[in-house]
Amino acid sequence: MQLTDTIRARKAQKDILLMTHLVLGYPSFAVNREVIGQMVENGVDVIELQIPFSEPVADGPMILKANQEAIASGVKVRECLDFAAEMAACHPIPFLFMTYYNILFKYGVGDFIKKSKEIGIQGFIVPDLPPEEGEEYLRLCGEHGLAPIQIFAPTSSEERMRTLAGHGQGFIYCVARRGVTGSKTEFDRPFNDYLARCRRATELPLAVGFGISSREDVAALRGKADLAVIGTATIRLVEEQGPEAVGPFLAGLR
Amino acid sequence: MAAKFGFACTIYMGAEDVHRQRPNVFWMEKLGATVVPVTTGSKTLKDAINEAFRDWVSNMDTTHYVMGTVCGPHPFPEMVAWFQSIIGKEARQQILKSFGRLPARVYACVGGGSNAMGIFQGFLDEKDVELIGVEAGGKGIATGKHAVRLAAQDASPGVAQGYKTMFLQDSDGQMLDTHSVAAGLDYVGVSPILTDLWERGRVRFEAATDQEVMAALDLTIKKEGIIPALESTHAFVQAFKEAGSLSPDQAIIINQSGRGDKDIFTIAHAFADPSWKAFIREKGAEYAAY
Ligand SMILES: Cc1ncc(COP(=O)(O)O)c(C=O)c1O
């Protein structure tokens, strides 16, 4: 089943889905394995695996640090692919790659997409690739049935949202506020207006991320978004309390 | 510009560069800017650019991003190239006035490439004017401690910081650390416009090592009575290497992109100047006594 259908099917069972995120190789693949196990056990619906890149411009301090430390400890793209293959083979939920375009470009865009398909990855989030520059990427994602997830931001006009949605599959990643990953988002009037604009621009499911870290945050998205994305919060939790804290945290979100 | 127009201004600068270019930091602060040292990554220009992007996307409603060089996403390279083109226009007028003809060669140092793009634009359509960009050879190309993107084989095509060019990166696409005595040349990427001109054979690229730069700086100070910035001195190195092949009726232009005043600490250190060191010690003791 393609990602969009999987998400719709899951959404029919729950009032909001959870997508979690982690940086591959940070603090280690062993900890990643344990954290992913807990995510799956606690009902996470989609997992975003970030392949570290040295210049993660869309990421705030926590994820930036995770990227840089993973690279400094010698994490290679090939190891990330092998690890993702292992995860996709042993867990029954969709896995996506999040990374920056240079990682695909250096690997070879075609080879990267083919390899991702082979190992059971279902889509990509590439925040620094606007669709106008990603013709080959979009075409090959289409050919291999992988979802090139597009990103809306509060600064996107409705026209831009429609253009982006026209290139997207799986879901739309709605960046909750201006800025980078990590800091707090206010779920106020302007935020609700923004989500309403997102909703009008596309039929695809909407994921909302950036600054979502609590049960209240997730509750605020119920009825307005299809997926809540938890990124920095779990990385920080693993850092402060160890991987075993992830399960109870996730269980308490819904 | 911000001081002149009354804008609040935040400058992101690599922590290492804050240290290396302390006089610039002092003047920026005097002009009213807030200088934020960036401690991530290699703590130099590349990381400062990332932080400026992060600030900009967070404060887009109230903030303009001002890129310091001819790099970054469209339309920044073209904007900066256009702003800098005044250098080439004036240089062309001046050499025609004082020398009566165009130069045989134009030399400029290349960090991101703004001063080079600026001066080259005065001569791009003149097929007989050779354009030479000089990159930072650092401790030597063989050592890997350099910022040579085009003059050697170490860089490869990549996409980062919003643009595609030749980057110093590993086989996974992770950016490498660079090195140069000149903070302004210590950068992994290079203007996509210059890379295009290089691919088309319009601009030749060379590299000058830190050591060559210090020797050329000494020579320039003594013989010309001017003090070029460490960045600019890279262009002088290459011009000196090649000046012997000119005939007496030919002229060259070396773009002095900045003055060496800002580099006084680095230069004095490199020359191991004993009286300067004694002075710094004295000043240090004076401040420590407060
Ligand atoms: C004096 C001077 N020259 C040259 C450069 C290099 O930059 P660009 O290649 O963009 O001219 C710098 C950068 O800071 C500089 O300070």
The full DSSP string for A99-135 is --HHHHHHH-HHHHHHHHHHTT--EEE-TT--GGG-H
* Interface contact A68-B59, CB threshold 8 A: no
Compute the half-sphere exposure of residue A107: CA atoms within 13 Å on the CB side of its CA: 22
Single-letter residue type at A88: A
User: B206 - beta bridge partners?
Assistant: B134
Place A1 in a pLDDT band, splitting at 50, 70 and 90. low
Render pLDDT for B23-73 as a digit per residue (tens, 0 to 9): 999 999 999 999 999 999 999 999 999 999 999 999 999 999 998 899 999
Cα–Cα distance for residue pair A10/B290, rounded to 1 Å:
68
- CB < 8 Å from B in window 41-80 of A: 52-58, 60-61, 64-65, 68, 71, 76-77
pLDDT of amino acid A111? 98
Q: How many whole angstroms from B124 Cα to the centroid of ligand 1? A: 20
All structural domains of chain B, each given as residue ranges with its CATH number in brackets, are 2-58 (no CATH), 84-258 (3.40.50.1100)
Cα–Cα distance for residue pair B123/A167, rounded to 1 Å:
43
Single-letter residue type at B34: T
Smallest CA–CA distance, residue B171 to chain A, in Å, is 7
How many other β-carbons are positioned within 10 Å of the β-carbon of residue B243?
A: 13
Cα–Cα distance for residue pair A23/A68, rounded to 1 Å:
10
Render pLDDT for B175-232 as a digit per residue (tens, 0 to 9): 999 999 999 999 999 999 999 999 999 999 999 999 999 999 999 999 999 999 999 9
Using a cut of 0.90, tell me whether the model's pTM lies above it: yes
Place A92 in a pLDDT band, splitting at 50, 70 and 90. very high
pLDDT of amino acid B290? 80
Residues A215 and A252 sit within 8 Å (Cβ to Cβ): yes
* Interface contact B57-A179, CB threshold 8 A: yes
Residues A102, A108, A113, A116, CA torsion sign: negative
Render pLDDT for A78-88 as a digit per residue (tens, 0 to 9): 999 999 999 99
Cα–Cα distance for residue pair A8/A154, rounded to 1 Å:
24
Non-local CB neighbours of A13 within 8 Å, separated by 6+ positions = none
Cα–Cα distance for residue pair B84/B117, rounded to 1 Å:
7
Place A182 in a pLDDT band, splitting at 50, 70 and 90. confident
* Interface contact A105-B60, CB threshold 8 A: no
Contacts of A155 in chain B (CB under 8 A): 60
Cα–Cα distance for residue pair B243/B238, rounded to 1 Å:
8
pLDDT of B257 above 70:
yes
pLDDT of A219 above 70:
yes
Bridge-based pairing of strands A227-230 and B156-160 is unpaired
- The whole-number average pLDDT for the span A43-70 is 96
All structural domains of chain A, each given as residue ranges with its CATH number in brackets, are 3-247 (3.20.20.70)
Separation in Å, CA B163 to CA B132, B190, B191: 23, 10, 9
pLDDT of B78 above 70:
yes
**Which pair of structure tokens corresponds to residue A229?**
């994305």
Q: Is B258 in the pocket of ligand 1 (CB under 6 A)?
A: yes
Mean of the per-residue pLDDT values of chain B? 96
Which of A75, A76, A102 should be substituted to probe chain B, the one whose Cβ sees the most B Cβ atoms within 10 Å? Answer: A102
Q: Is B186 in the pocket of ligand 1 (CB under 6 A)?
A: no
Residue from B17, B49, B185 whose mutation best tests the ligand 1 pocket (most atoms within 8 A of CB): B185
pLDDT of amino acid A185? 79
- The whole-number average pLDDT for the span B261-276 is 94
What's the ipTM? 0.95
Place A179 in a pLDDT band, splitting at 50, 70 and 90. confident
Burial profile A99-135: b = 16 or more Cβ within 10 angstroms, e = fewer: bbbbbbbbbebeebbebbbebebbbbbbbbbbeebbe
- The whole-number average pLDDT for the span B109-129 is 98
Bridge-based pairing of strands B163-167 and B156-160 is antiparallel
Question: Roughly how many angstroms between the first and final C-alpha of chain A, as a whole number?
Answer: 26
pLDDT of amino acid A181? 81
Place A186 in a pLDDT band, splitting at 50, 70 and 90. confident
**Which pair of structure tokens corresponds to residue A8?**
């719709």
Chain B: residue whose CA lies nearest to A70: B174
Single-letter residue type at A201: A
